[in-house]
Each structure stands twice: as structure tokens, then as C-alpha cells.
Structure 1
């Protein structure tokens, strides 16, 4: 049976303007860096994407190297676009990125114009699209002049291969320089994607102020700290968990007794609020006025439902915020 989106999909989601642009993004976006490669079930991946869209998640985030192997997530999502989502293309915000190794030799990595243009061309072929809505430079290149990288991003917008430009993993000063170059070129940066969670707060020191000064939106990735900020590890490390699997995204040494004690105390506060820990952690990230959207990963549709359910209770009292700070000290 052909997929037909839920008619009530826009009743579930909150949308927020991204920086000083005209684009509104859903408070929750779905990242495809896990569970969309060749080793994953395509049927399950389709269920995840369909459930997300049925709940008003219009933004799907990819990168050229998501898999495994690199490129596989874009190919999988391209198949879903063809089979399920093609009628809804104009309701979707599809992003991809380039900046990590994709092919051998000097032109398959970092931030040269040669690499970025070739990479987006490859991504569009895998996705079966004429353009993406957002194209990111995935990480700063210490060797290529920033002017060259930003000029390549500007070129891709002018060629009609991307509607907007984003940056990811750029520290505040480097981001500020990039924003200024893009502004001069006439293609202002739409959005920045930093890591941000209760356990990863570097963005608060300078980056958020920089984004607000330049009118750039923010979408936070790893808001659950690789799964630590869920109820998965309250009793230790399960044998079937990501931490026990050797995943590069969550290593056992990150789950110290001190950190797990904080997780348990945060969980108690979440229960007092009538939420799961994961829901409170997402709400806490979205509380910051610089944050436009939060990027989640999922292996089960219930995780997407939980994330969207958080929106019914995303506010904090000052007492709760103070208690969280005390727990994290």
C-alpha cells in the first residue's frame, strides 16, 4: 500500500523561525547518521521516516559520509523519497553535508572548492534530487583558506543545488569569520550545527552569542549525549547497548560512576516533572533562546513519539533549572 501522510501531522509540532531567515524549522528534526546504512533494515528506516513525518517532523538531516558505508544513508533516503515522500517534497527540509573523508586522494576531504562541489553533486545523485534545502560544511578545514570554502558554498547556492548554507562544528571565532564572508558574498549563513547537551555545554560560552549576533539559527546534535541521557544506563551498561557494542559514539569509559550518579539524579527530577529523562534532556536543550531545533537519532518509532511528546511539557521553573545546575556541578 502506498504511503499517505497523516492529515493531522502539523497539529503535533512546534515550528520556529531559523535565525533572521524566513525559514521555519520543526523543534524536533530527525538525523539519519544511525540506522540508515547498508547494515540496517530498510523497512525499519522507512517506518522511522514515515512516523517522523506523520508527527510533523519535516526536517531530515544527512551527510555524505553517513552509512555505513559512506553514502549509504543518502541512498536509503533517496529510495524513500522515490517510494513514499515524492508527493511531499515541498513540505520537506532535506540537508546534507561535506567535510569528512569520502574518497581517496587529495580531493575527497576537508573544504576545497573541488571537494565540496563534487561531493554535493554525488549527494544529489544518491538522493535523486535537483537540490537540497540546506548544505553544510561539516567541519573547519585548517589548511584551505576560509574564503575558498565559503565561496564554494556561495557558488552552490547560486547554481541552484542548495537553497541555504549551514556550518557544523565551527568554533565561535571561526564561525564569526565565515558568517562575515558569506554575508559579503550575498549568501548569509542560515544555521549552525554544534554538539550540545546537559553534558556538553561548550556552545554556551561564546558560540550562542555569536550566532545570535549574526542572526544565525542553531540545531543541536547529540542532545542525549550518545544515549547517556536516557533510562538505558540507570542500572549500568546492558550487554546489548551501544556502549557495550564498541560504538565510536559512546564508549564505556564515558559512563563513569560519577556521571551515572548524575544521570540517576536527573532521572528522578524528570520523573517528578512527569517525563522520561530523554524528554527532559531535549526540553532543556530547547530552552536556550539561541536553539532553533534539536536533532535526534532513532532506532524505534517509540523514540520519535517520545521526543515529539516532550513538546507538551518543555518549560522549566527556575527551581528546576537551579536543581539541574546543582546536579551537574
Structure 2
């Protein structure tokens, strides 16, 4: 049966303006980091993408190296886009990135103009697109002048291969430098994608201030701390979890007794709010509208549904915020 998008897909989702731009992003976006492409079945990936769109998630975040294997997430997304979502292309925000290792030789990673433009050309072919909505420099390159990296982003926009540009994993100081170069080139920085959660608050120490000063949006990746801020680890480490397996992203040593005690207390507070721990963690990242969107990952449809339901209660009392600060201290 051919996919028919839900007629009520925009009824419940919240959309936030990205910095001072005209672009709005859904408060919850879907990242295709590690459970799409060759590592998952096509049918499960398709089901997650289509359910996300039916829930009002219009932003799908990719990168050249997402899969595994690298490139397979873009290929899978391109297939679903062509077969199911092509009629809705203008309702979608599709982003991709380049910066990490993709191919052999001196031009297969980092931030040179050669690599960034070649990589985007490959990404567009994998997804069957003429352009992406946002293209990111995935990480700063210590051996390439920022002028070259930012110049490549500017060129990509002028060539019509991307509508907007972003940065990921740049420090406050690096972001300040990049903002100035891009402004002088005439291609303003739209958005920054940093790692941010209750358990990783580094952006509060400078980066958020830079973004707000220059009218740049932000989208937080790993807002659930790779699953730590869910009920999965409240009673220990399940054998079938990321930390209990051979994941390179999270392992058992990351879950100290101190961390587990925090998770237990946060879960109790979330229950008092009528939310799961994951829902409260997402609401906390979005508090005060300083973050444009929270970027979730998922391995099944039910996780997406639970995470989007966080938007039903985004408000925190001063007492609740104080309790969270005390738990995290």
C-alpha cells in the first residue's frame, strides 16, 4: 500500500525559529546516526522515518559516514525519499555533514575544500537530491585554515547545493571565528550541532552565549546521553543494552555508581511530572528556548513516539529546576 501522510501531522509538533533566520525546525528532529542503513532492516528504518513525519518531524539529520557501513544511511534515506516521501520534499529539512573519515588518501576527511565539496557531491548522489537544506562542517580541522573551510561552505551555498550551512563539534572560540568569516563572505552561519544533555553541559560555558549573540540556532545531539537518560539503566546494565554489549559509543564503565544514583533521582522527579526520564531529559534540553531542536536517535517506532510525547510538558517550575541542579551537582 502506498504511503499516505497523516492529515494531522502538524497538529501537535512545536516548531522553533532557528536563531534569527527565517527557518523553523521541529522541537524534536530525527538523526540517522547508527540505526539506519546497513546495520538495520530497510523496513524498520522506513517505518521509523514515515512515523516520524506523521508525528510532525520534518527534519532528518544525516552525515556522509552514517550507517554503518558509511554512506548506507544516506542510501537508505534516499530510497525512502524516492519511494514514499518525494511528494513531500518541500516539507522536509534534510541535512548532511562531512568531516570524518570516508575514503583513502589525503582528501578523505577533515575540512579542506577538496574534501567537503567532493563529499557533498557523493551525499547528493546517494540520496538522489539536487540540494540539501543544511550542510555542516562536522568537525574543525586543525591543519586547514578556517578561511578555506568556511569558503567551501560559502561556495556550496552559492552553487545551490545547500540552502544553509552549519557547524558541529566546534568550540565557542572556533565558532566565533567561523561566524565572522562566514558573515564577511555573505553566507551567515545558521546553526551549530553540539553534544548536550543533563550529563554533558559544556555548551553552557561559552558556546550558548556566542550563538545567542550572533543569532545562530542550535540542535543538541545525544540529548539522552546515548541512552543513559532513559529507564534502561536504572536497575543496572542490561545484557542487551549498548553498555552491556560491544558498543564503541557506551560501555559499562561509563555507568558509575554516582551516575546511576543521579539517574534514579532524576527518574523519580520525572515520574512526579508524569513523564518518563527520557521525556523529561528532552524537555530539559529544550527549556527556555535556548536550544532550537533536540536530535533523537531511535531503533524502533515506539521510541520516537515516546520522545515526541515529551512536548506535552515542556514547562518546569523553579523548584523542579533547582531539584535537577542539586541532583546533577
Q: What TM-score do you get using the length of structure 2 for normalisation?
A: 0.99
Where do residues 128-143 of structure 1 align in structure 2 (5 Å cutoff)?
Answer: 128-143=128-143
Counterpart for residue 17 of structure 1: 17
Gaps of 5+ in 1: none
Counterpart for residue 278 of structure 2: 278
Dislocated runs of 4+, deviation >3 Å: none
Q: CA RMSD in A?
A: 0.6
Where do residues 24-173 of structure 1 align in structure 2 (5 Å cutoff)?
Answer: 24-173=24-173
Counterpart for residue 316 of structure 1: 316
Where do residues 292-303 of structure 1 align in structure 2 (5 Å cutoff)?
Answer: 292-303=292-303
Asked if 2 retains the 8 angstrom alpha-carbon contact of 1:3 and 1:84, the reply is yes
Counterpart for residue 230 of structure 2: 230
SS at match of 1:243: coil
Compute the displacement of 1:193 (Å): 0.2
Q: What TM-score do you get using the length of structure 1 for normalisation?
A: 0.99
Compute the displacement of 1:308 (Å): 1.2
Compute the displacement of 1:190 (Å): 0.4
Asked if 2 retains the 8 angstrom alpha-carbon contact of 1:31 and 1:60, the reply is yes
Give the distance between the partners of 2:192 and 2:128, measured in 1 at CA: 25
Give the distance between the partners of 1:149 and 1:203, measured in 2 at CA: 22
Give the distance between the partners of 1:98 and 1:216, measured in 2 at CA: 20
Give the distance between the partners of 1:56 and 1:325, measured in 2 at CA: 31
Give the distance between the partners of 2:296 and 2:39, measured in 1 at CA: 20
Gaps of 5+ in 2: none
Asked if 2 retains the 8 angstrom alpha-carbon contact of 1:18 and 1:191, the reply is yes
Give the distance between the partners of 2:63 and 2:288, measured in 1 at CA: 26
Asked if 2 retains the 8 angstrom alpha-carbon contact of 1:12 and 1:308, the reply is no
Give the distance between the partners of 2:122 and 2:251, measured in 1 at CA: 32
Counterpart for residue 291 of structure 2: 291
Give the distance between the partners of 2:11 and 2:249, measured in 1 at CA: 33
More displaced 10-residue stretch of structure 1: 33-42 or 4-13: 33-42
Deviations 1:79-137 (A, max 9, x none): 00011100000000000000000000000010000000000000000000000000000
Aligned residue-pair number = 329
SS at match of 1:120: helix
More displaced 10-residue stretch of structure 1: 193-202 or 246-255: 246-255
Deviations 1:169-207 (A, max 9, x none): 000000000010000000001000000000000000100
Counterpart for residue 189 of structure 2: 189
SS at match of 1:139: coil
SS at match of 1:244: coil
